[in-house]
Structure 1
């Protein structure tokens, strides 16, 4: 079983890192090419390309200009560097060494800059979302830049992962499109909360946190079957009556 999650825009560059041996991202040649393209962008370019403030654009212009090929000593494991709702839900700082070993086998982070990351792969600070309309000689999107590379690497990792050869998709649609068409059974959990009108809906922030909670729960409990996913609680309840074989639905009743 292989779980896919998205990265985060916000980064944590100060928290402790795991005692486990860090690893190197496996598509660094492609990453270096992208970083070189991005290093030629101005603050105005990044504001337009990313739809961000001048402050964020300036920060990322500096990051790309300082970006080093390979993995310098200042690089940090991806699993403790991303810091959005998914990662706060997953709570990797609570992982012990065995949990990190499990995560390295069974969790992958899809990345606009690095392609596919294992949790212990060391990364430099960056911002580059998969949905960015970056024009290159390969096309007008990052999905076209990566082509089949991410799908092929995820497929290979799936074959080496523990348990059945099933992908648990906890990534956003923006990121999962980079591996669309992969030849594997895909389970896409759905997390619903009541809106102000009392209707069951996917509410973005709450769902992101839930995806992280499930990812962390799967790692800590060494989940090896699709059926075991229905045992996930963490404040959520599996609802069989609205679920399908590929989309288990979990609802938050409090």
Structure 2
């Protein structure tokens, strides 16, 4: 089983790193090429494309300009958004991180597909961006490359199963390109006055918690993932089917 996660806009390149040996992203050259192309965009254009403030546009223009010289760190310890708050990578033991390296993958607009220990440089480039070199959008630029790598990694891993905890924006990069793969989508719900409801912030954290739970317990059997129970979540059999599972927090 391979778990898919989205990356995060919020990054942490300052906290103390545990002593893991970083690995090289499969698409490192492609990331460099995209960064060089993005460096030609003006700050105003970046602000329009990414729907960000002038201050953030300036930061990311500088990142693209200086990309080759920026510091790097393993992706699992660089991403710091809600999903990764739920994952709590800094408290996961060495065996859990090693398990994650084999069974967790992060989709990325710049790097395509990342293992947890793949070294990345600071960036912001969302998969849904309507820009790419010689293409109208980033998903067109990546084409089948991300899916082909994921298919190869699934074949090597052997289960033929994906637990999809990525957002729709990022999963679009491989959607419809994984024929023969069993794909389980997960829906996280919270109690509400009119029944279980979806809350984005909580769902993002729950995705990270579920990925961590798998790594903590070294789960390789997809059906065993129904036992996920962190933070009060429970599998809701009545609201689930073979390919879409619901977990509701009590």
What TM-score do you get using the length of structure 1 for normalisation?
0.94
- CA distance in 1 between counterparts of 2:154 and 2:132 reads 31
User: 1:175 pairs with 167, 170, 195, which one?
Assistant: 170
| Residue correspondence of structure 1 range 141-180 to structure 2 within 5 A | 141-161=137-157, 164-180=159-175
User: 2:107 pairs with 107, 110, 113, which one?
Assistant: 110
Would you say 1:239 and 2:240 are equivalent positions?
A: no
CA contact (8 A) 1:18 1:97 kept: no
CA deviation map 1:127-173 (0-9, x unaligned): 00000101431x21111010000000111111222x62210000000
| Residue correspondence of structure 1 range 13-28 to structure 2 within 5 A | 13-28=13-28
| Residue correspondence of structure 1 range 54-73 to structure 2 within 5 A | 54-68=54-68
Would you say 1:204 and 2:200 are equivalent positions?
A: yes
SS in 1 for 2:124: coil
Superposition CA RMSD, Å: 1.3
Deviation at 1:57, TM superposition (A): 0.6
Match of 2:73 in 1: 76
- List alignment gaps of at least 5 residues for structure 1: none
- CA distance in 2 between counterparts of 1:133 and 1:73 reads 25
- List alignment gaps of at least 5 residues for structure 2: none
What TM-score do you get using the length of structure 2 for normalisation?
0.95
CA contact (8 A) 2:70 2:122 kept: no
Deviation at 1:18, TM superposition (A): 3.1
CA deviation map 1:46-73 (0-9, x unaligned): 11010001111111011111110xxx68
SS in 2 for 1:89: helix
CA contact (8 A) 1:194 1:200 kept: yes
